[in-house]
Amino acid sequence: MPFIASISTGLRGLVTGRGGSKETGRPGGAKGRHLSVDVKSQVSWRSLAAADDDQRRIALVTGATDGIGFHTACMLSAAGYGVIVHGRSASRVRNAVDRVNESRSFLDKFGKGGVVGAYVRDFDSLDDVRALARDVLDNHPRLHLLDNNAGVFEPSRHVTDDGFERTFQVNVLAPYLLTGMLLPRLATTASSDDESKHDEDVRILNVASISQLPHVNFDNINAEQKFTSHEAYCHSKTMMKLFSFELHERISRAVELSSYDELGDHDYFAMKTGCTELATAGARGLGSVLTMTCDPGTVNTKMLLAGWGPCGVETFDANDQFELLTDAKYRDEVKSHGAYHVNRTVRQRPGEDTKEERERLWRVLEESTGFEYPI
């Protein structure tokens, strides 16, 4: 993708404060549409360009107020995507919205980029996760990219009001629940877009980490027996990868089963799932949702600095998530489908060696959230 270096250079100026314009006093000199986040209520949303909403591709980035999530949101905006910004702090969401909009100036030829929605929701609460899904479903009729980026690295064990250790809830339960609620919308987006233009290229990226445990410790899911910051984080990223593997396998299996049913795939999904959106999407829509998981790279985010120290690249050079979300080769290369990527290359694919473990984990996630996927 030849324009990545161009965007990164511009974003480096935005992050470091170099390259600001005299007109605006802000890096990049972006003018025009800005979202003023109304934080009187828990949810804050306003369309910036309703006329463009049915033309541009829409991306939701969780944890988009700093670090790699913020950088990825800026990259997507600069590349012409309508970006939905999520964060847990109203002031940081407001700041991220302005700066993501500024990033559009680095590639004027794409013009349609910018923030189309901004939501303040805290994944410490599963009700807030459900509310974020409803925010998106109520306000955005199309969704092309879901970047499950939000995550925490906790210095001490904390139990949320939902009764789960915070690292497990934010890093695993929240993306499981959010993805499940948004999956029908992703599928209908894939089924309704123009295939000849590859607009149907719909993707879910589940951000794991190269820092993982060998296996899930089902006796210590909530760190009841033992807690260390590093072990809880690594454990959660092991689970995130396995969740992503199982999601890919479930989508593939549902599409395959529908192809054998004499009712046809649309009626099959209507009967089996009871989900109107999935019935509308059918096998073509659901089967076009590409699921991947990744290590985001060793990047000097607040999380890395807290746990490991300054041993990575700066955030404005952290392009792995952006490339996995947008580069056509990951859609075109079958080996990438469902796979775990490190340095943007396939490191592991779902297989029989993980089947028992990921299926058991899926049952834990269902029971913990009270949510069953419609596939």
C-beta neighbour count of 366 within 10 angstroms: 14
> 56: closest CA among 197, 181, 177, 227?
197
Contact 193, 199 (CB under 8 A): yes
| Residue 260 annotated to the active site | no
Strand 345-348: give its sheet, edge to edge: 43-44, 114-120, 82-87, 58-61, 145-148, 202-207, 289-294, 340-342, 345-348
> 203: closest CA among 190, 193, 194?
190
- 16-25 LR contacts (CB < 8 Å, sep 24+): 16/316
Q: What angle do CA 247, 319, 134 make, to 5 degrees?
A: 45
Of 119, 176, 233, 340, which residue is the catalytic one?
233
Q: What angle do CA 230, 235, 238 make, to 5 degrees?
A: 130
d(CA 228, CA 232): 6
> 293: closest CA among 151, 83, 164, 194?
151
CA distances from 269 to 188, 228, 256, 364 (A): 12, 44, 12, 25
Active site residues: 233
